Amino acid sequence: MHNTIKEENQVSPSFLFFLVHSTQIGVGILGFQRLIIKGAGYEAWISIFLAAISVCILLAMIFNILTRENSDIVDIHRLYFGKYLGGALTLAASAYYFIFALTIYRTYVEILQIWMFPQLETWIVSLVYLPIIYYTVSGGFRVVTGIAFFGVMLPLPLALALIYPLKYGHLNNLFPLFDHTIWEFLISTKMMTFENLGFESVLFFYPFIKNGATSQKWGQLGILFSAFLYLCTALVSFAYFSQGQLMHTIWPTLTMAKIIEIPFLQRFEYILIALWLLVVLPTIAVSVWCTIRGFSKTFNKPPTLFLILVLIALLGFSIFFDDRETIDQLNTRLSMTGFYFIYGYIPFLFLYSLIRAKIKQKKAQKEEREPTLS
């Protein structure tokens, strides 16, 4: 199998940093603190490290598979499991990316409704953003990558806003250290699954990276930078909130933003939420792109058709999930599905790929040793 993507449609290896990082920092960073303390309490920041290390290992496995076959997951499924089972697995992966896009999209719309436009109907808010997603994805993978670049660079100064709540923080909240069991740390690590999802989209867009085999380091750096931002946010939140407050605060990051005072601006969190569209857009765009890539390659139909269908489905489902409880369930389901996909299916595919390569190697050696008949 060979990479058949034209060079003018490919992006430089360094852009993998932005593609991986932007898909991991979506809506998760606005509310993850409440979930990760369920295991190791205020020591859950150690679990952010553990989760990042596990994801770095998983990315190395993905690159091992992709560089061996020099193709994307659609062709690899067909090669490994045949036309029908391979096709079914690709459709399942595409459906997973649709759920990923829907979850991020609906959660962001909910944030807008709760914090800025409480009177607006869900379908109106949802409809406003569909043309932006259509324009981004229909422009092709290079446009999606450009959005990922700006989605990282433009909101980056907002990270400095974390300094302000530290004035009111109590650093002694973070102590004592190593006061929890390994099991409790693992629970918090599992709770970080939703925040770490997104890096596995490289399974679909790998052929669009120039010299893909050399780009892994950029992906690893993207994961580590995401972990660094989550770590900083978690430490500031743990210092600022008591554990009881944090358990009952749905969006701790936004709640901290409310106390920031700028002379010419009363509600800083409004600026944060408005700019957050740039942060969530790459995650949604990459997920939608992966969804339509899987469907169009499996059914051999133009991607524009699937893009329109996916956007209609996004609108329909976003109206269906209409309250906090159902949206929370959607987030939980994605987290659970993502957990099995990255910690179950990716290692399985990696081992299958290794065994298959070993069998092929032994077969080739055997054929070399056998005397040729004249």
The CATH number given to whatever domain includes residue 61 is 1.20.1740.10
Does 127 fall in a domain? yes
- Tell me, what's the pLDDT at 309? 94
Place of tokens 């944090």: 246
- Tell me, what's the pLDDT at 374? 43
pLDDT band at 265 (very low <50, low <70, confident <90, very high): low
Does 340 fall in a domain? no
pLDDT at position 88 over 70 = yes
Do 118 and 288 contact (CB within 8 A), yes or no? no
pLDDT band at 264 (very low <50, low <70, confident <90, very high): low
Span of 32-36, 218-222, 284-288 with lowest mean pLDDT: 32-36
Does 196 fall in a domain? yes
Q: Write the pLDDT tens digit of every residue in 173-220.
A: 777 777 778 888 899 999 999 899 999 999 999 999 998 888 999 999
Integer-rounded Cα radius of gyration of the chain: 22
Q: Write the pLDDT tens digit of every residue in 316-359.
A: 998 888 888 888 899 889 999 999 999 999 999 999 999 998 99
Do 133 and 284 contact (CB within 8 A), yes or no? yes
Q: Write the pLDDT tens digit of every residue in 128-179.
A: 889 999 999 999 999 999 999 999 998 888 888 888 888 887 877 777 777 7
Does 232 fall in a domain? yes
pLDDT at position 373 over 60 = no
pTM: 0.91
Do 142 and 11 contact (CB within 8 A), yes or no? yes
Residue 361 Cα distances to 118, 120, 297, angstroms: 62, 62, 30
Does 45 fall in a domain? yes
What string of DSSP letters covers 258-290? Answer: TT--BTTBS-HHHHHHHHHHHHHHHHHHHHHHH
Instruction: Please give the tally of structural domains in the chain.
Output: 1
Does 344 fall in a domain? no
Does 372 fall in a domain? no
Whole-angstrom distance, CA of residue 151 vs CA of residue 21: 10
Does 185 fall in a domain? yes
pLDDT at position 110 over 50 = yes
Mean pLDDT of the chain: 88
- Tell me, what's the pLDDT at 5? 80
Note down the domain range covering 99: 7-329
Span of 88-92, 174-178, 368-372 with lowest mean pLDDT: 368-372
Listed in sequence order, the residues at least 6 apart from 18 whose beta carbon sits closer than 8 Å to its beta carbon are 145, 148, 149, 151, 152, 222, 282
